[in-house]
Amino acid sequence: MEENIIPSEKEEKIKDDIQLTKVNVVGRKWFHCFKMGDGTIQEIETTESDYVQLGQKNPVNPIIENGIWEKSYERYKFDTVDGDLSDDQYCDNGSGYLLKTKGTFIQAGIEEVVDHKIKNIIVDEAIKEVERLTQPIL
């Protein structure tokens, strides 16, 4: 007589799909990053023209009290309340899907998101790869 084998909770979780909500890209957002006197990093949203001028001849570097400008960047703006991508949301970015889950941004192929769901195992593998690539070199 065969025993019914119940998979462990961890094994079952790996098989589960993560339900996602699709959002749309509606534009871009621009940010300056500053290293503050206490060692923290502060991101300040800025304008497109302020960001673009950094690439021109004789740019004016951003200034903040008690901070040193580190970098500036741009990213997608979404049709969400705050314009950001939250956990378990995704969008079509033209080359696949950009999604955020478990606090991590992941680029997924169109075949990996089916019926607004992605396999947990795909997410876990992508997060491991992000962690591997962002490990500090000793």
Give Rg (Cα) of the chain: 20
Q: Is residue 1 part of a domain?
A: no
Q: What is the pLDDT of residue 136?
A: 62
One domain for residues 96 and 136 = yes
77 and 30 share a domain? yes
Predicted confidence at residue 138, as pLDDT, reads: 53
| Regions in the chain scoring below 70 on pLDDT | 1-15, 121, 127, 130-138
Is the pTM higher than 0.85? The answer reads no
Identify whether residues 43 and 55 lie together within a single domain: yes
Q: Of the residues 60, 81, 102, which one is the last residue of a structural domain?
A: 81
Please tell me whether residues 93 and 115 are part of one structural domain. yes
54 and 68 part of one domain: yes
Residues 63 and 111 both lie in one domain: no
pLDDT at 134: 62
Query: Tell me, what DSSP letter sits at residue 87?
Result: T
Q: Tokens at residue 135, please?
A: 């490990």
Instruction: Report the candidate in 137, 74, 76, 135 with the shortest Cα–Cα distance to residue 107.
Output: 76
Please report, to the nearest 10 degrees, the dihedral formed by the alpha carbons of residues 107, 112, 115, 121 taken in order: -100
3 within domain boundaries: no
Residue 117: inside a domain: yes
**Domain that residue 69 falls in:** 26-81
Residues 90, 73 share a domain: no
Structural domain count of the chain: 2
In a domain, 60, yes or no: yes
Q: Are residues 89 and 77 in the same domain?
A: no
Q: Identify the domain boundary among 34, 60, 81.
A: 81
Contact 17, 120 (CB under 8 A): yes
- Indicate whether 104 and 121 sit together in one domain: yes
**Whole-number Å distance between alpha carbons of 88 and 100:** 6
Give CA separation, 1 vs 5, 6, 8, 92, in Å.
12, 16, 21, 50
Supply the DSSP string of 11-33, one letter for each residue: HHHHHPEEE-EE--EEEEEEEEE
Q: What's the DSSP call for residue 53?
A: G
Sheet holding 67-78, edge to edge: 41-46, 25-36, 67-78
